[in-house]
Structure 1
Amino acid sequence: MNKLEKILARVEKPGRYVGGEWNAVKKDWQQADVRIAFAFPDVYEVGMSHLGLQILYHVVNKRPDTLMERVFAPWVDMEEQLRREKLFLFSLESQRPLGDFDMLGFTLQYEMSFSNILNMLDLAGLPVRSAQRGHTMPLVIAGGPCAFNPEPLAEFIDLFVIGEGEEVIHELIDAYKEMKQQGVGRRDMLRQFAKTIPGIYVPSLYTVQYNRDNTVASINPVAEGLPARISKRVVRDFDNVDFPTNPIVPSLGVVHDRAMLEVLRGCTRGCRFCQAGVLYRPVREKKPETLIRQAEQMIAGTGHDEIALTSLSTADYTGVARLVKNLLDIYGERGVNVSLPSLRLDAFSIELAKEVQKVRKSGLTFAPEAGTQRLRDVINKNVTEQNLVDAVSSAFQNGWSAVKLYFMIGLPTETYQDLDGIADMAKKVIEIGRACGVPKNRLKVTVSTSSFVPKAHTAFQWEPQNSLQELREKQKYLKEKLRDKSINYNWHDPATSFLEAVFAKGDRRLGRVLEKAWADGARFDGWSEHFNFDLWMAAFAAEGIDPAWYAYRKISYEEVLPWDHIDAGVSKRFLIREHKKAMAEQPTADCRTGKCPGCGLCPAFEIKPSILGGAEIAPLQSEV
């Protein structure tokens, strides 16, 4: 028995580390010119539920000259074994140490995974700081939503990919392959990537200057030929882009164990707190015949018994009811369920919900986000209380007995009257359920609240977060207000949300804190059983940095933001206008109506939304 077999026998879930799943790809190592490890900084069960991993794994492994293997953050029991036996962190497909690869690519889905990135680098035997890595070590790459404020990780990542990766990954591989054959050194290679490939940001090639008041003075490239702003990459022909119709089937239970069919990318709604709604603009829909074909191939290739229609707002897909009916006509008799992960109140159709849940019935989830119409206008959540009343009335009349409601607390301008609105709404849903004849012992309303986190590239990026004390008082207040046997109240730990806000709005100086916290034991900060708030506060104190300055400070429009050199396509002028409209409680129309709100992306990127049979949206050139 070798060392690896020994340690796998000692850990709780060895299936996390062995690979060999259905549809996993194991290529001949010697035949690959470029070898990439896709690194997900969380456990297998979370990472294998991520569609982006499946997409890039498929896109890269289609190339005959390149291989991609996977690695996930080892759980604490596995880390202990790796360190005890002095083994390096390895990939699932070939069990090779990560240091053998040409590139190590991290996905940045959530700020609370940052400490895991440093830990995985260290377990791989690599220096955590980019400047300390040698010529023979893999290039450390990162992409995903958190790459749109890359600065807290600037000291650790060699290069960031800004935007969608399906096309830029080929350009990166081609350029790397050519330069590797020419013997180009690491620093020159990074400089060439930054100069020649749009969407590539190499932080070591940019300097940051600070003002005396600690704000950012400037962010500038160190040499000519480097872009002053790095624009995101956008897939233009979304209907024909590569998509994995034979995804890997996990070998153990994961968070989302189902076939994921991406029906559209982007969202037109314009919720002012929502970063994804900005980062994934413009909306692009796939044709229904493309989706039917992909679903057929996925079910045949995986054996999954559920097809999830995924996107930021699936109910907005043109002809979603017809698509669901077609899929159920084909697969319903085979026991394959079709699910919509989220339903909007105003797009809700009980007929659609009935169709979706013909095979297996489950609870319904809605996200009003705020308890009053005033606050919903502030955040531009264009739904009304009547929408909720209509939706839950239909649901209860058609056999549902459980409803989940999601809200955010700590939103800009929120008052206790808005919190009262959350409690009133939950109680109204209970009253509707009772009026519709739902048995008392079966009627259940679950209210969940998360804490508002201001994010880069949103209309609320200038806003402060509520203090920990304020958030805890609001949670306590709601807990009292929601005392009812039919209501279950859940809330998120505000300490986690505080740290998330610090890193979401942070700059390069936070790298010192991150490294200190990791060295002192920070791991799996998104998991309540491992998150250690006191450890983090000690790291901030040790580095002389006040986290409250990042999370609780209202920022002026004139200030240089740490992420101003990253271009998400939506103009700062538009975001300022949206922020002002929020403070005036004025909503902005959905651009699906055909009226362009003037965000600036379409003219700047020379692209238009691709909405099937939708209204033509003429960009407001003068407003950007």
Structure 2
Amino acid sequence: MRKLALNDEILLKIEKPARYIGGEVNSVMKDKEKVDVRFAMCFPDVYEIGMSHLGIQILYDMFNRMEDVWCERVYSPWTDLDAVMREEKIPLFALESQDPIKDFDFLGITIQYEMCYTNILQVLDLSGIPLLAADRTEDCPVVIGGGPCAYNPEPLADFFDLFYIGEGEAVYRELLDVYKENKKNGGTRKEFLRKAAGIEGIYVPSLYEVTYKEDGTIASFAPADPCAPARVRKQVVMDLSETTYPEKPVVPFIKVTQDRVVLEIQRGCIRGCRFCQAGMIYRPTRERDVEMLKTYARRMLENTGHEEISLSSLSSSDYSRLEELVTYLIDECSRKEINISLPSLRIDAFSLDVMSKVQDVKKSSLTFAPEAGSQRMRNVINKGLTEEDILTGAGEAFEGGWNKVKLYFMLGLPTETEEDMRDIAVLADKVARRYYEIPKEKRNGKCQITASSSFFIPKPFTPFQWARMYSNEEYISRAAVVKHAFQEQLNRKSLKYNWHDAEVTVLEGVLARGDRRVGAAILEAYRLGCLYDAWTENFTYGKWLQAFEKTGIDLAFYNERERGEEEIFPWDFIDIGVTKAFLRKEWERAMKGEVTPNCRQQCSGCGAAVWRGGVCVEGKN
């Protein structure tokens, strides 16, 4: 019988002990003596967040279908258990077997956002794995990173043995076979890493050297070992209908952030918003077959008992068979009293009709993401949304019974003026005015327009990767401009304005575009006690500033300068298909306020056609 890693005394005194005991419905148990590879899959955040992540569910299912592999899950212990584990010297353990992570062959960490970087060090530390890859011995698990933040792995390069660049379904089998062969032949850790570097999509940081110019920019980035390629090519699954997808996702014991069945309908996005990293790194857009989706929806609901299903996509409205799929789900789910969640929809007549069928209109609010208040700024970011689109959509929603609208914006975008900032409030007021144009007897009470702004952060592999950011004080002053503009609006009683934390923005900017030197600051911040930085109650900006000062990291160098056209970026060695020349051309078009058509309207020659599939070949023989 399985013995829990935490005794009853500990479980009774910590918050939500169900986070740590495993044994959930559909979790996979295997005989560890009968598998060749043990893989601990980690999401470096609390259980409720990690259990909501689709990527982990997909990889967990994929690995456990392999007879020779047992994949288990591990999440960051919350701060209460973290303290107990350190005091009692309890090593971090996997949920399924409750065995220490250090006993595994691999520790795979998905890196979804920059603010979890200190949690990665927590996971290594509590596992008894040396924080620096260079200090690890033969008995340590191989630490591998993946996910969107792996597209600039350099700030974390010193902590990982290797990174997997791209979609996990592609070459993991090959990597595990190389590991098994190396182990069988008595090969060393170093020998495995050199062999792994020969697999397309695998990046081994220790096999590369970086040099810097006097001004602090990168002079060269090149392999220091003949086994390592000069360019690492991202891995893409072109036929999503034939790849693995979980029919029996693990069902958590406690309420998690996304407590529902998640159906991924497509990958990629045709829109080409210039601030959006996902829209570039997941190109080309590929759809799953509608019949496959119907089958999986039915099976996943049967196998989990969930009472809600959500369609996952960067832009669900662009899925070509959406109407057929939604009609099927409405029919299937209404009979079983299952809710349907449809995020990432454009607010048009079809979407509103669908939402009125699947939502309680009186309770829900609609979400628009104009991203910018003025049309000029929306053209700069290539949003592909006019004021008329927004007001027409809002008007149709109000006439359909909705009276609450959420609007999302960004501040600090390239070329932004004070007028652009103030236009955020003007647009919110126009949306409210549209509500009050409806005859009083047809209105659904008072309307509530909630506008929220985050601060723009330039991300690698976007046209805005050359852009500058601003200081904490400058961001606060920009938010103040918008707040004052809201107070001047005619319908101010119907308007509400919120803004994101500027300190977090500054830190995220450094981590997003940082190079290897930033790793020293991450390590120092962790040593100073930084943990769960994505959680407002735990974020301590002062400690981060202390860490940057002690390690000689200049925030302004990483954030407050526009990059030159010829500058070598820390991530330039990664080939995502989309070319740097295309991204630069888009940057220049942005500076002129020129709009680029979406992929279905016209091919812009971004480079993703090299994969010979998806939207790039639609309608071609």
Match of 2:16 in 1: 13
Deviations 1:527-582 (A, max 9, x none): 11111111000111111121221011111010111111111111011011000000
Q: Partners of 1:277 and 1:28 in 2: how far apart?
A: 41
Q: How far did residue 481 of structure 1 move?
A: 2.2
Match of 1:454 in 2: 458
Q: Partners of 2:182 and 2:262 in 1: how far apart?
A: 36
Equivalent of 2:584 in 568, 573, 576: 576
Indicate the SS of the match to 2:170.
Answer: helix
Deviates more, 1:356-365 or 1:82-91: 356-365
Q: How far did residue 246 of structure 1 move?
A: 0.8
Q: How does 1:139-154 map to 2 (within 5 A)?
A: 139-154=142-157
Q: Do 2:600 and 2:615's aligned partners in 1 also have CA atoms closer than 8 Å? A: no
Q: Partners of 2:578 and 2:350 in 1: how far apart?
A: 29
Q: Partners of 2:67 and 2:474 in 1: how far apart?
A: 56
Match of 1:482 in 2: 486
Match of 2:169 in 1: 166
Q: How far did residue 610 of structure 1 move?
A: 4.5
Q: How far did residue 268 of structure 1 move?
A: 0.9
Q: Do 2:609 and 2:616's aligned partners in 1 also have CA atoms closer than 8 Å? A: no
Deviates more, 1:543-552 or 1:184-193: 543-552
Distance 1:192-1:162 versus aligned 2 partners, 3 A rule: same
Matched, 1:28 2:37: no
Equivalent of 2:69 in 61, 66, 83: 66
Indicate the SS of the match to 2:496.
Answer: strand
Matched, 1:186 2:193: no
Q: How does 1:540-579 map to 2 (within 5 A)?
A: 540-579=548-587
Match of 1:608 in 2: 613
Q: Partners of 2:364 and 2:25 in 1: how far apart?
A: 28
Q: Do 1:40 and 1:72's aligned partners in 2 also have CA atoms closer than 8 Å? A: yes
Distance 1:48-1:144 versus aligned 2 partners, 3 A rule: same
Q: Partners of 2:11 and 2:271 in 1: how far apart?
A: 47
Deviates more, 1:462-471 or 1:119-128: 462-471
Q: How far did residue 348 of structure 1 move?
A: 6.2
Q: Do 1:38 and 1:71's aligned partners in 2 also have CA atoms closer than 8 Å? A: yes
Q: Partners of 1:232 and 1:347 in 2: how far apart?
A: 38
Matched, 1:473 2:497: no
Match of 2:343 in 1: 341
AA partner of residue 321 (structure 2): G
AA partner of residue 588 (structure 1): T
AA partner of residue 584 (structure 1): K
Q: Do 1:502 and 1:548's aligned partners in 2 also have CA atoms closer than 8 Å? A: no
Q: How does 1:4-403 map to 2 (within 5 A)?
A: 4-195=7-198, 197-345=199-347, 349-357=351-359, 362-403=364-405
Q: How far did residue 451 of structure 1 move?
A: 0.5
Match of 2:603 in 1: 596
Gaps of 5+ in 2: none
Indicate the SS of the match to 2:534.
Answer: coil
Q: How far did residue 441 of structure 1 move?
A: 5.1
Deviations 1:115-168 (A, max 9, x none): 000111001011100000100110000000000000000100000000000122
Q: How far did residue 344 of structure 1 move?
A: 2.3
Distance 1:6-1:364 versus aligned 2 partners, 3 A rule: same
> Percent of pairs identical after alignment?
49
Q: Partners of 2:616 and 2:341 in 1: how far apart?
A: 22
Q: How far did residue 319 of structure 1 move?
A: 2.4
Q: Partners of 2:554 and 2:146 in 1: how far apart?
A: 27
Q: Do 1:315 and 1:347's aligned partners in 2 also have CA atoms closer than 8 Å? A: no
Q: Do 1:342 and 1:366's aligned partners in 2 also have CA atoms closer than 8 Å? A: no
Match of 1:417 in 2: 419
Deviations 1:231-273 (A, max 9, x none): 1000011111100011011111111111000000000100000
Gaps of 5+ in 1: 619-624
Q: Do 1:348 and 1:391's aligned partners in 2 also have CA atoms closer than 8 Å? A: no
Q: How far did residue 322 of structure 1 move?
A: 2.1
Q: Do 1:23 and 1:249's aligned partners in 2 also have CA atoms closer than 8 Å? A: yes
Q: Do 1:270 and 1:380's aligned partners in 2 also have CA atoms closer than 8 Å? A: yes
Distance 1:3-1:527 versus aligned 2 partners, 3 A rule: closer
Q: Do 2:5 and 2:93's aligned partners in 1 also have CA atoms closer than 8 Å? A: no
Equivalent of 2:468 in 457, 464, 471: 464
Distance 1:296-1:306 versus aligned 2 partners, 3 A rule: same
Matched, 1:501 2:509: yes
Q: Partners of 1:62 and 1:257 in 2: how far apart?
A: 24
Indicate the SS of the match to 2:222.
Answer: strand
Distance 1:379-1:2 versus aligned 2 partners, 3 A rule: closer
Q: Do 2:72 and 2:94's aligned partners in 1 also have CA atoms closer than 8 Å? A: yes
Q: Do 1:23 and 1:247's aligned partners in 2 also have CA atoms closer than 8 Å? A: yes
TM-score (norm 1): 0.95
Matched, 1:518 2:526: yes
Q: How far did residue 485 of structure 1 move?
A: 2.6
Indicate the SS of the match to 1:591.
Answer: coil
Distance 1:408-1:502 versus aligned 2 partners, 3 A rule: same
Q: How far did residue 444 of structure 1 move?
A: 1.0
Q: Partners of 1:531 and 1:294 in 2: how far apart?
A: 40
Structure 1 stretches of 4+ moved >6 Å: none
Match of 1:622 in 2: none
Distance 1:351-1:64 versus aligned 2 partners, 3 A rule: same
Q: How far did residue 310 of structure 1 move?
A: 0.4
Matched, 1:532 2:540: yes
Indicate the SS of the match to 1:447.
Answer: strand
Q: Do 1:434 and 1:440's aligned partners in 2 also have CA atoms closer than 8 Å? A: no
Deviations 1:4-28 (A, max 9, x none): 3322111111111111111111111
* CA RMSD, 1 decimal: 1.7
AA partner of residue 349 (structure 1): S
Q: Partners of 1:231 and 1:374 in 2: how far apart?
A: 36
Q: Partners of 2:358 and 2:456 in 1: how far apart?
A: 31
Deviations 1:207-229 (A, max 9, x none): 00111111001111112242101
Distance 1:173-1:214 versus aligned 2 partners, 3 A rule: same
Q: Partners of 1:70 and 1:432 in 2: how far apart?
A: 49
Q: Do 1:3 and 1:85's aligned partners in 2 also have CA atoms closer than 8 Å? A: no
Match of 1:445 in 2: 449
Q: Partners of 2:381 and 2:260 in 1: how far apart?
A: 32
Indicate the SS of the match to 2:457.
Answer: coil
Q: Partners of 2:238 and 2:133 in 1: how far apart?
A: 33
Indicate the SS of the match to 1:239.
Answer: coil
